[in-house]
Structure 1
Amino acid sequence: MELTNISRFSQNVRIRSFGFTPRGHASRLYTLRNERGTELDVTDYGATVTSFRIADGTGRVRDIVLGFDDVADYAASFRLRAAPYMGATVGRYAGRIAFGEFEWEGGRFRLSRNNNGHCLHGGKKGWSRRIWSLVSLHDGDNPAIRLQHVSPDGDMGFPGKVTVNVTYTLTEQDEFVIEYEATSDADTVVNLTHHSYFNLDGHTGDVRQQQMMVNSTRKLEADEENIPTGRILKLDHCPFDFTSPKNCPEAIDTTFVLDDPSRPAATLFSPESQLQLLVYTDQPGVHIYVGGNCFGLLAGKEKAAYHPHSGICFETQHFPDAPNHPHFPSTVLRKDERYFQKTIYKIQPL
């Protein structure tokens, strides 16, 4: 979709202050609204989605993603022992890279280690903690926002200067579309994802009574620190087999290998709200996460008391630790090539 430069705003786009980071950087909050009245809030801090408000079958408006009230709370969440990455764009590399290093084409790269000696979600100060620049807004039908970040060569140990754009579009069919584009001035690795915690009953609910399906008959085997071993396991008749509907698990932190790209990667259903979430992606995997032990340490937006079952993440991406497993799909971005990824979170009535 063609975007226009900022020149005017209508009822489809609102902009307001979102407070200041601990370093004094001003943050803004952008609200996209479609003709149905559905609203998506995005802040430039971490290119983060803070709210997704939609009417259920009875007309009740529910905010179906978790979040915080201002940028200071988002910044504070990264000081927790296990940061939640609430609604953030994750990069330069989503997931873990074992021991924060990898060898590639005769060189060894040592990365920022922020998770038990491993590199998680791009390191100690990944892209989820940066203020992104506003590139453009589209304020007509299917309102959209494009944000950009420039990551210098050596950022968190990764090679290459990378310029990344993330476009969020709210369609008139209540689809929340994310398109990622990136280029680098040197060969590097890139693996991006989105980290919203969804709850179809509203952000103060409990996902354990909601059901999900996953378009996968295989998952990555991982060790006790959740580092992939390199093996891919079949899921026949095991607790991780979600090829038919099951209640959301008490805890999960697993990468599923997707089977059929024409089908939803994952589906979430709510008997209470009578809504379903369909996740579509062009990526080879979806990492599903429930059970964050950081919840309860910070109050959520609207003074919500979040708990480990407040939401579920569907992180569409390439595989964690792929630079250390040559048989995994490649995450290499060559100099002057273009990285592109698209994910759609579609909400519709059951």
Structure 2
Amino acid sequence: MVKNNFSQINSSINAKLLGFMPDEKEVFCYTMANKKGAEVSIMNYGATIMSLKIPLATGEKIDVVLGFDTLEDYINSYNLPSPPYFGTTVGRFAGRINNAEFFLNGKRNFLNKNHGEHNLHGGILGFSRKFWKVIESTSDENPSITFEYVSQNNDENFPGELTVQVRYTLTEENELQVIFTATTSEDTIVNLTQHSYFNLDGHTNAISNQSLIINSKKIVETNKELIPTGNFVSLNNHPFDFAAAKPIPTFIDNTFVLENENAATLISEKNRLKLSVITDQPAVHIYVGGNCFDKIKGKENADYHPKSGICFETQNFPDAPNHVCFPNSILKKGEQYNHQTTFKFENI
């Protein structure tokens, strides 16, 4: 049995044993709260957000992210027809890589194919399915917890040993800050994201009655397999122009090019709650989904369906290594990857 090192966890962060991975590593759920009553629970399988409870003006507290009750359900969810990646840290490369290959320093790299002929969200056993070690925590104002994973050279055929850290901080302003850093032993490609599905009406409800704002004037054009063509589509007179608040569409799976750090806003009139997504990344991939195909129950016995939640995957453009006009996705040896996203909740 492999013990998890969580001796540095502060007494104000509750650590609960969830179970064991196939290699017998112990998986814990770590829960921290701020003084306003907001509470987040994160486990070290996939550095995954399991729940995020936000207090409403009424005094009620609601869980605004989709998830499962047990570690076993998270592990089994990867056998679903379309794995949902509920709350996980996605890497090494979020999104699709065309034909699961890319050139780097003049060499063609062939990745594992896990989405037809393509590589999706890091491959067959991406970061979402790995054991992350807790390396630090704080319990003062704005409690935080930091997870680390070391991805070996040629993991899923990506070059370089990549050391990744993700720090979650719950501020007294009801913000969940997510900070990724990474370093590599040799040049590689990196694109990390946080893959929570949000629902401000509560995770057991449909997302349909909430409103969406996206600070974008164009989306990445894709083919029928959702692979970028290298071109962009203007959002002028486009159904996905969300410059002003309007209802969430039934289906959306698109990468929006961001104008500035204020990426998107989600609004629930029912709960008088607003979520602002703030990021230093060049894009946000927005996806409505959560379907568990009546095979796995969600938390509180929820039946998750195709309109259960909405993802704000702040990141670089999908397939960026294969398009010179896309932002750089290469992390060089001796440099550091940095990514910061804040999910800010406010009563309105």
Aligned to 2:140: 140
Structure 1 residues 19-28 or 103-112, which shifts more?
A: 19-28
Aligned to 1:237: 237
Q: Does structure 2 conserve the Cα–Cα contact (< 8 Å) formed by 1:22 and 1:75?
A: no
Aligned to 1:256: 256
Aligned to 2:326: 328
Shift of 1:21: 2.7
Gap regions ≥5 residues in structure 2: 1-5
Aligned to 2:273: 275
Q: Does structure 2 conserve the Cα–Cα contact (< 8 Å) formed by 1:92 and 1:191?
A: yes
- SS for the counterpart of 1:207 is coil
> 1 CA distance for matches of 2:8 and 2:44?
18
Q: Which digits, 9 at most, give the CA deviation of each residue in 1:251-277, with x for residues without a partner? A: 11000000123xx20000001110000
> 2 CA distance for matches of 1:276 and 1:222?
30
- SS for the counterpart of 2:208 is helix
Mapping of residues 151-300 of structure 1, within 5 Å: 151-261=151-261, 264-300=262-298
> 2 CA distance for matches of 1:252 and 1:53?
26
- SS for the counterpart of 2:286 is strand
Q: Does structure 2 conserve the Cα–Cα contact (< 8 Å) formed by 1:100 and 1:113?
A: yes
> 2 CA distance for matches of 1:150 and 1:24?
18
Which amino acid in 2 is paired with 1:342?
Q
> 1 CA distance for matches of 2:91 and 2:289?
22
* C-alpha spacing 1:111/1:8, structure 2 compared with 1 (3 Å): closer
Aligned to 1:106: 106
Q: Which digits, 9 at most, give the CA deviation of each residue in 1:206-237, with x for residues without a partner? A: 11100000000100000101000100111011
Which amino acid in 1 is paired with 2:235?
L
Structure 1 residues 269-278 or 302-311, which shifts more?
A: 302-311
Structure 1 residues 14-23 or 71-80, which shifts more?
A: 14-23
* C-alpha spacing 1:8/1:282, structure 2 compared with 1 (3 Å): closer
Aligned to 1:19: 19
Mapping of residues 18-37 of structure 1, within 5 Å: 18-37=18-37
Q: TM-score, normalised by structure 1?
A: 0.96
Which amino acid in 2 is paired with 1:170?
L
Mapping of residues 298-337 of structure 1, within 5 Å: 298-337=296-335
Q: Does structure 2 conserve the Cα–Cα contact (< 8 Å) formed by 1:6 and 1:137?
A: no
> 2 CA distance for matches of 1:260 and 1:139?
32
> 1 CA distance for matches of 2:30 and 2:9?
14
Q: Does structure 2 conserve the Cα–Cα contact (< 8 Å) formed by 1:250 and 1:291?
A: no
Which amino acid in 1 is paired with 2:333?
K
Q: Which digits, 9 at most, give the CA deviation of each residue in 1:183-220, with x for residues without a partner? A: 00100000000000000011101111000000001000
Which amino acid in 2 is paired with 1:220?
V
Mapping of residues 57-72 of structure 1, within 5 Å: 57-72=57-72
Q: Does structure 1 conserve the Cα–Cα contact (< 8 Å) formed by 2:9 and 2:137?
A: no
Which amino acid in 2 is paired with 1:28?
F
> 1 CA distance for matches of 2:303 and 2:84?
14
- SS for the counterpart of 2:41 is strand
Shift of 1:291: 2.9
Which amino acid in 1 is paired with 2:196?
S
> 2 CA distance for matches of 1:228 and 1:19?
39
Shift of 1:346: 0.3
Aligned to 1:81: 81
Shift of 1:331: 0.4
> 2 CA distance for matches of 1:293 and 1:220?
25
Shift of 1:130: 0.3
> 2 CA distance for matches of 1:129 and 1:260?
32
Shift of 1:140: 1.5
Runs of 4+ in 1 over 4 A off after TM superposition: 5-8
Structure 1 residues 105-114 or 21-30, which shifts more?
A: 21-30
Aligned to 1:9: 10
> 2 CA distance for matches of 1:237 and 1:297?
39
Shift of 1:8: 6.3
The total of aligned residue pairs comes to: 343
> 1 CA distance for matches of 2:295 and 2:235?
35
> 2 CA distance for matches of 1:182 and 1:318?
15
| Residue of 319, 329, 339 corresponding to 1:341 | 339
Shift of 1:24: 3.2
> 1 CA distance for matches of 2:15 and 2:139?
12
Report the RMSD for the aligned CA atoms in angstroms.
Answer: 1.2
Q: Which digits, 9 at most, give the CA deviation of each residue in 1:53-110, with x for residues without a partner? A: 1111211110000011121111000111211000000000000000100122210000
- SS for the counterpart of 2:62 is strand
Gap regions ≥5 residues in structure 1: none
Q: Does structure 1 conserve the Cα–Cα contact (< 8 Å) formed by 2:29 and 2:44?
A: yes
Q: Does structure 2 conserve the Cα–Cα contact (< 8 Å) formed by 1:203 and 1:311?
A: yes
> 1 CA distance for matches of 2:118 and 2:292?
19
Which amino acid in 2 is paired with 1:214?
I
- SS for the counterpart of 1:156 is helix
Q: Identity of aligned pairs, percent?
A: 48
> 2 CA distance for matches of 1:203 and 1:90?
21
> 2 CA distance for matches of 1:291 and 1:31?
26
Structure 1 residues 78-87 or 338-347, which shifts more?
A: 78-87
Shift of 1:244: 0.6
* C-alpha spacing 1:206/1:144, structure 2 compared with 1 (3 Å): same
